[in-house]
A and B are shown apart, each in its own frame.
Chain A
Amino acid sequence: MEAITTDFDLYLKGFGLTVGLFVASGIASLVFGALLAAARVGPISVLAKASAAYVTLFRNTPLLMIFIFIAIAMPRIGFTFNFVEEIRVGDWNISGFFFRACLALTLYTSAFVCEAFRSGINAVPIGQAEAARALGLTFGQNMTNIVMPQALRAVVPPLTSVQIALAKNTSVAAAFGIAEATATMRLLGNRYGDQTVEIFFFIAVGYIIIVEIVALGSYALERRWKAAAR
């Protein structure tokens, strides 16, 4: 127990970073993934092909490799992204490490978000978009007013799975010098060799809490939308 109680601030800091990685990459991947999906189903064939190629590339590459590329290979060829450290909000700023981890997680997760949105868009009957086109809505208006709102309903369960996977994938950042929850577990494990089981247990509970919050939010959304229409 004492591993967690004495070093509780370490524990909290670790999970703070985990949550930070998760929320930042989660939001960024939802936005980028939605744009990729819009490009994929859109009328401009160059964009549709680029989006398809992106998904093929990033969905089929192990996350660890993307991390290695962003965190190790890119800085070697001059892309450290350390300029983000200049951005200060009060006495808080983003570390280059943190930014690179978010970038890797976002690039990877966006491919899955795109596919989830695409399946949701395909679940919307073609007549819906057609009726909107016939009224004179532009492609953008059609996506934002008709297709995406309906696709979202179909897309909550698969998107939830994608985001839950992301929450756990943040642990890959441990290997790249970020003291998030999994790295903290290793640190505490080294410090209190006799308490590894307890440490493991408390770290696992932390992840379970994060995932459950995501899942509960998702159920709440599903219920609300079910009540709203039909």
Chain B
Amino acid sequence: MTALEKEPTTPAQGEPLVVLSDVQKWYGDLHVLKDINLTVHRGEVVVVIGPSGSGKSTLCRTINRLETIGEGSIQLDGKPLPEEGKALANLRAEVGMVFQSFNLFAHKTILENVTLGPIKVRGVKKADADAKAQELLDRVGVGHQAAKYPAQLSGGQQQRVAIARALAMEPKVMLFDEPTSALDPEMISEVLDVMVTLAKGGMTMVVVTHEMGFARTAADRVVFMADGQIVEENTPEEFFTNPQSPRAQDFLGKILKH
């Protein structure tokens, strides 16, 4: 999987790329995001972890405005997220998203899944988009499946295509919402390998996952959420070996038992 690694770009830890300030969100009466302050720096990999219903997906989805927020602000690369229209579409093009359920376009071939965004959103010529897509599919190891339809691929292969589809837009940041939770155990590592390589290659990533192996190898920081709040933030090593809050200790106690 070394093919995914880019030229060792300067590990530009530094400038803030995604900045959430005092973000609040409600679903009706349910307060799902409470006082969220989170800054993701360029090149940083942040793993978000926490119990079911704690708001991890919602947090992820607010960053490309698939969900709107009630209060506060979110900035990408120094600019507040646009409200709607063409500007919002352009923002989304800059933020790659990988879903738990892959969500490949069922009526399009693997190659078309990857070229659709570049052609329709970026206006890339078909021949160029095809070449780039083929290269990306080769990199994630599904190049020979390009002509098939999503339903003909295994879950692990579909998720790697979904990653290639997001990468084809050359996003500034990639969001992953439990990318391996829907996969059979034997397929998890093939997807995580791709993600680790991406991380090492300098991609800015926000990853909701319970895969501790991934967090330890690839994450710069772990963010622990509970009840819509960020309860604890730390390096993976510190967080897993020495959690500070009772909520995190309790949570880790539960997942480590398995």
**A131 near B104 (CB under 8 angstroms)?**
yes
A3-44 interface bits toward B, Cβ cutoff 8 Å, 1 = contact, 0 = none: 000000000000000000000000000000000000000010
Contacts of A136 in B (CB 8 A): 89-94, 117, 121, 169
Question: Which of A130, A135, A153, A228 is packed against the most chain B CB atoms within 10 Å?
Answer: A135
Other A-B pairs, 17, CB within 8 Å; known A131-B99, A229-B149: A127-B99, A131-B105, A133-B66, A135-B92, A135-B116, A136-B89, A136-B93, A137-B89, A141-B121, A145-B116, A145-B120, A149-B107, A150-B106, A150-B107, A229-B106, A230-B149, A230-B152
**B103 near A128 (CB under 8 angstroms)?**
yes
**A134 near B97 (CB under 8 angstroms)?**
yes
A187-211 interface bits toward B, Cβ cutoff 8 Å, 1 = contact, 0 = none: 0000000000000000000000000
The total of interchain contacts (Cβ-Cβ below 8 angstroms) comes to 70
Q: Does B204 contact A (CB under 8 A)?
A: no
Q: Does A138 contact B (CB under 8 A)?
A: yes
**B89 near A127 (CB under 8 angstroms)?**
no
Interface size class of A (residues with CB under 8 A): 20 to 34
Q: Does B54 contact A (CB under 8 A)?
A: no
Within 8 A of B (CB), among A113-134: 125, 127-128, 130-134
A144-171 interface bits toward B, Cβ cutoff 8 Å, 1 = contact, 0 = none: 0110011001000000000000000000
Contacts of B92 in A (CB 8 A): 133-136
Q: Does B101 contact A (CB under 8 A)?
A: yes
- Number of B positions contacting A (CB below 8 A): 31
Contacts of A141 in B (CB 8 A): 120-121
B61-82 interface bits toward A, Cβ cutoff 8 Å, 1 = contact, 0 = none: 0001010000000000000000
Tell me how far the C-beta of A150 lies from the nearest C-beta in chain B, rounded to whole angstroms.
5
Nearest A residue to B113 via CB reads A131
Q: Does B165 contact A (CB under 8 A)?
A: yes
Tell me how far the C-beta of B79 lies from the nearest C-beta in chain A, rounded to whole angstroms.
15
Contacts of A134 in B (CB 8 A): 64, 66, 92, 95-97, 166
The majority secondary structure among interface residues of chain A is helix
**A137 near B121 (CB under 8 angstroms)?**
yes
Tell me how far the C-beta of B115 lies from the nearest C-beta in chain A, rounded to whole angstroms.
11
**A128 near B106 (CB under 8 angstroms)?**
yes
Tell me the bound Cα distance from A133 to B99 in angstroms. Answer: 13
List 22 contacting pairs A-B, 8 Å CB cutoff, sorted by A. Answer: A127-B103, A128-B106, A130-B103, A131-B97, A131-B99, A132-B105, A132-B116, A135-B117, A135-B121, A135-B165, A136-B91, A136-B92, A136-B93, A136-B117, A138-B89, A146-B105, A150-B107, A153-B107, A229-B106, A229-B107, A229-B149, A230-B152
**A131 near B103 (CB under 8 angstroms)?**
yes
Q: Does B86 contact A (CB under 8 A)?
A: yes
Tell me the bound Cα distance from A145 to B66 in angstroms. Answer: 19
Contacts of A137 in B (CB 8 A): 89, 116-117, 120-121
Tell me the bound Cα distance from A15 to B151 in angstroms. Answer: 46
Contacts of B169 in A (CB 8 A): 135-136
Nearest B residue to A132 via CB reads B105
Nearest B residue to A135 via CB reads B117
Question: Which of B86, B92, B93, B94 is packed against the most chain A CB atoms within 10 Å?
Answer: B92
**B93 near A135 (CB under 8 angstroms)?**
yes
Nearest B residue to A134 via CB reads B97
Contacts of B152 in A (CB 8 A): 230
Nearest A residue to B65 via CB reads A133
